[in-house]
Chain A
Amino acid sequence: MSMFRDITIGQYLSGSSVVHRLDPRTKITIVGVFMVVLFAATDAAAYATLTAFTVLAVHLARVPARMLLRGLRPVLILLVLTFTLQLFLTPGRTMFTLGPLVASWEGLRMGLFMVARLLLLLVMASLLTLTTSPVSLTDGLESILAPFRVVGLPAHELAMMMTIALRFIPTLMEEADKIMKAQMARGADFESRSLSRRIRSLVPLLVPLFVSAFRRADELATAMEARCYRGGRHRTRLNRLRATALDAAAAALTGFMAAVVIGLRWWPG
């Protein structure tokens, strides 16, 4: 049952830190730039720069580190697997052998970089949702996507779908928890070791969950239509997005970070 509690991606932690007050468009762009730059990093100095940037962001956001770390727990297996595969499958100078498997120094390097890359990516993505309320996140996204409307991209509809999806994550998790408990009260076994039993035990959980999700979707659609909702055209906003000096500072800092990392890679010598 505790499996639903550790997921931090998609959660929002209200606050008033510098990062919380940034314009969502700035934050989305920063995370985008960060991701691109992350894939340009090839040496330790670049990773150090990126890590410093991330640590600074977490510190400024005043998000408890414990919470971020807890969110990483579910991907621990993925990290270990990535590291192991890199370690043994990268050809190079032998570090040690384990039966038929050969671990290389190059593999160690690649493995560590890969893990660092995934960790930084996850932390930044979590930080974005932790410091940006779902509403402003989608407002930001809609505003960024708006120029693509000319080529037929339904920006508003996409943003609205995302808002609704994010809004219902906690509701559905609560519902899943409740249904799971109700079936456990009828002797269902969700903790069995046997894989086939575990998969079969999903049916009594998923069927009621889907039924209730459809019912909710239906009710929501009716409620929206009852208030005359009809898509993006001519809609006005209560809170208009506004970029401030703070956003300029954040952009400058990100630009500097990106310059350092890219410089480290392509600067001659």
Chain B
Amino acid sequence: MSIETVDLTHVYMPGTERAVVAVDRVSLRIDDGETVGIMGPTGSGKSTLIQHFNGLLRPTSGRVLIDGEDLWPREKDGPRTADLHKVRRKVGLIFQFPEHQLFEESVYDDIAFGPRNLGLPEEEVRRRVTVALRMVGVPEDEAEALGRRSPFSLSGGQMRRVAIAGVLAMRPATLVLDEPTAGLDPRGRLELLETLSRLHRRWGLTLVVVSHNMEDLAALVDRVIILDQGRLILDGPTREVFRDPESLRRLGLDAPPVVALMHALAARGAQVDVSRLSPREAAEEIDQWIRAGRPRRAGSGREGDAGLVHV
């Protein structure tokens, strides 16, 4: 399962005075099993870009290929030969605040909406609903009771889980999420991050995550793509991208706190590797640096101490 765009350009309201180039000649390739973060300031074209990944928008120019198949084979008004329903089954798209799309009377029916649209027999639908709930971390013995409840009676975090399960029930190979943790409380956020990361590790889903939250991206993805004013300006491993907080700041973005901490330490002369992303990695790095003896044992230890105290 791969997603590829070639010189993808999207213009809203083309030909009018209010035309806006939302995505500008973006070429990228996302392969099977990857975890990719897309970030950029507000209005940089992130949301427009991801809507091309499952054929919800039609490019103004350029191409979108899913598994090598061109979604929009002819330039202008040609017949659609790509089966967009099939594509939408392969690439599951989860918008910001997905809980706003819930509409059924029960959680079960809402998750079953997608599989039923596929025309599956009811027993297969049932199986998919159960698996989808398990995938978002609802244990099997609770699934039954939860399935009978109204989706509108759930907490924010639970609603979001159910909405995500609704997309997972389509059995996509790739999950594309727009700001998945926006508006959740810290606990809901951590739980969701854990769920998403498990979707990748245990269920083998390819993840594409759009986010402003650098900590979320540091925790979830191995590769980061940065957009600015519709252009792709940086594409690289997460560690490399976060290594340079100054250029992120110029874009109105910021490095995760852990990276900022490591940079602050390094700036004060500490011998630490600044590419550590998670709190655990950072703790190990700092621990090693302290055990290496720089601050305490060295004769001129005052400098090192001062550095530690200030941080």
Residues of A within 8 A of B (CB): 5, 64, 67, 178-179, 181-189, 203-204, 207-208, 211-212
Query: Does A188 lie within 8 Å of B95, measured CB to CB?
Result: no
**CB–CB A187/B170 < 8 A:** yes
Q: Is the CB of A184 within 8 A of B56?
A: yes
Please tell me if the beta carbons of A184 and B88 are within 8 angstroms of each other in the complex: yes
Does B100 touch A at the CB level, under 8 Å?
yes
Write 23 A-B pairs (CB below 8 A) sorted by A numbering: A64-B16, A64-B17, A178-B100, A179-B100, A181-B93, A182-B95, A183-B113, A185-B54, A185-B94, A185-B95, A185-B167, A186-B113, A186-B166, A186-B167, A187-B113, A187-B117, A187-B118, A187-B170, A189-B117, A204-B113, A207-B103, A208-B103, A211-B100
- B residues 13-28 touching A (CB-CB < 8 Å): 13, 16-17
Cα-based distance from A203 to B56 in the complex (angstroms): 20
Say which residue of B16, B56, B92, B152 sits within 8 Å of A211 (CB atoms).
B152
Closest to A189 in B: B117
Chain B residues with CB under 8 Å of A184's CB are 56, 88
- Measured between alpha carbons, how far is A184 from B98 in the docked complex, in Å? 13
The answer to whether B103 touches A204 (Cβ under 8 A) is yes
Chain A min CB distance to B37 (Å): 20
Indicate if the CB atoms of B114 and A187 lie closer than 8 Å.
yes
Tell me the bound Cα distance from A175 to B56 in angstroms: 15
**Is B275's CB within 8 Å of the partner chain A?**
no
Enumerate the 6 nearest inter-chain pairs by beta-carbon distance, A residue then B residue, closest first.
Answer: A187-B117, A207-B103, A186-B114, A182-B101, A185-B93, A181-B56
Against A, the Cβ 8 Å flags (1 = close, 0 = not) of B94-117 are 110010111100000000011001
What band does the interface of chain B fall in when counting residues whose beta carbon is under 8 Å from A? 20 to 34
**In chain A, what residue has the closest Cβ to B113?**
A186
Q: Is B63 an interface residue (CB 8 A)?
A: no
Residues of A contacting B: mostly:
helix
Nearest to B116 among chain A residues (CB) is A187
Residues of A within 8 A of B94 (CB): 185
Contacts of B170 in A (CB 8 A): 186-187
B195 within 8 A of A: no
- The verdict on A203 contacting B103 (CB below 8 Å), with A181-B56, A185-B88 known, is yes
Minimum distance in angstroms from A191 CB to a CB of chain B: 10
Other A-B contacts than A204-B103, A208-B100, A208-B102, 19 sampled, CB-CB below 8 A, are: A178-B100, A179-B100, A179-B101, A181-B51, A181-B95, A182-B101, A183-B101, A183-B113, A185-B56, A186-B114, A186-B117, A186-B166, A187-B88, A187-B114, A187-B118, A188-B113, A208-B101, A208-B103, A212-B100
A187's partner among B51, B85, B100, B101 (CB-CB below 8 A) is B85
Q: Tell me the complex Cα distance, A235–B113, Å.
A: 50
Chain A positions within 8 Å of B13 at CB level: 5
Hey, which chain A residues are within 8 Å of B46, CB to CB? none
Chain A neighbourhood of B114, CB < 8 A = 186-187
Across-interface contacts of B16 in A (CB, < 8 A): 64, 67
- Min C-beta distance of A67 to chain B, whole Å: 7
**Distance in angstroms between the alpha carbons of A178 and B50 in the assembled complex:** 13
Query: Does B89 interact with chain A (Cβ within 8 Å)?
Result: yes
In the bound assembly, the distance between CA atoms of A132 and B199 in angstroms comes to: 52
The chain A residue sitting closest to B88, CB to CB, is A185
**Chain B residues, CB < 8 A from A185:** 54, 56, 88, 92-95, 167
How many whole Å from A202's CB to the nearest CB in chain B? 11
Residue numbers in A under 8 Å from B102 (CB-CB): 208
Distance between B25 CB and nearest chain A CB, rounded to angstroms:
24
The CA of A184 and the CA of B88, in the complex, are separated in Å by 8
Give the docked Cα–Cα distance between A183 and B167 (Å).
9
B251 → chain A closest CB, angstroms: 26
Q: How far is A189 from B17 in the complex, measured between Cα atoms in Å?
A: 33
Contact partner, A178, options B17, B89, B95, B152, Cβ 8 Å: B95
Q: Which of A64, A182, A204, A211 is the one whose CB lies under 8 Å from B98? A: A182
Bound: A178/B97 CA distance, A: 11
Residues of B within 8 A of A208 (CB): 100-103
